[in-house]
Amino acid sequence: MKGLFRKTGLVLLCAWLLQLSSCLAVAIERDRFERRPDLPEIDILLAGNATGDDGQRDATGPALPFMDLHQALARLGAPLHVAPLQREAIALVYGWRADTHLRASLSLPLAETVSASMDFSRRRAKLDGLVLVFDSSGQLRGSRACRLLDIRARLSGERPVYDDAWWAPRISRP
């Protein structure tokens, strides 16, 4: 008799859990897109680098991993995007993402045609990016970290000038 109750209880518990999942759900989602460039000096580029009008850098600054387009492509591989800038300059855009989202949702049927639901999600990071700017002769003129959403908006309109204030180092992300 006791065994029968135990089995019945187990079946009821399973049924309850199955039914519960229809209104309560916790999702852990990981989304990876490409990888951060495997380059020891990547932080120097992400911290932002601006060269002067004469193309020379401050000798006291940290050494860059490359100074021209050919070397950049050899070290970093193909970018996600290539965009034209004014004066025949170009921007190479690299991007990667490693997100883990925790999302919980609760949905309660209150009446036959009415329900209440609550959804909470938290995104730890969005697509990270690195922008490299080269002048018409292929010399590196600037770099900066960015979110690709930001850079897309900037590059989709009128072509920016590569040495305007936007390329000056403002973001420093280790």
Q: How far is the CB of 100 from other proteins (least distance, A)?
A: 6
Q: How far is CA 27 from CA 14, 101, 123, 168, in A?
A: 20, 8, 12, 40
Q: How far is the CB of 105 from other proteins (least distance, A)?
A: 10
Query: Which residue, 14 or 125, has its beta carbon nearer to other proteins?
Result: 14
Query: Which residue, 22 or 113, has its beta carbon nearer to other proteins?
Result: 22
Query: Which residue, 35 or 122, has its beta carbon nearer to other proteins?
Result: 35
Q: What's the angle, vertex CA 31, arms to CA 26 and CA 35, rounded to 5?
A: 155
Query: Which residue, 147 or 169, has its beta carbon nearer to other proteins?
Result: 147
Does residue 11 contact residue 50 with C-beta atoms inside 8 Å? Answer: no
From the list 115, 92, 95, 107, the residue with the least C-alpha distance to 25 is 107
Q: How far is the CB of 130 from other proteins (least distance, A)?
A: 14
Residue 83 and residue 77: Cα distance in Å, rounded? 16
Q: How far is the CB of 163 from other proteins (least distance, A)?
A: 16
Query: Which residue, 38 or 53, has its beta carbon nearer to other proteins?
Result: 38
Q: How far is the CB of 85 from other proteins (least distance, A)?
A: 9
Q: What are phi and psi of 6, to 5 degrees?
A: -65, -45
Binding site residues, other proteins, CB under 8 A = 14, 17-18, 20-21, 24-35, 69-70, 72-74, 76-80, 82-84, 88, 90, 100, 136, 138
**Look-up of token digits 């900037």:** 154
Tokens at residue 140, please?
């590196």
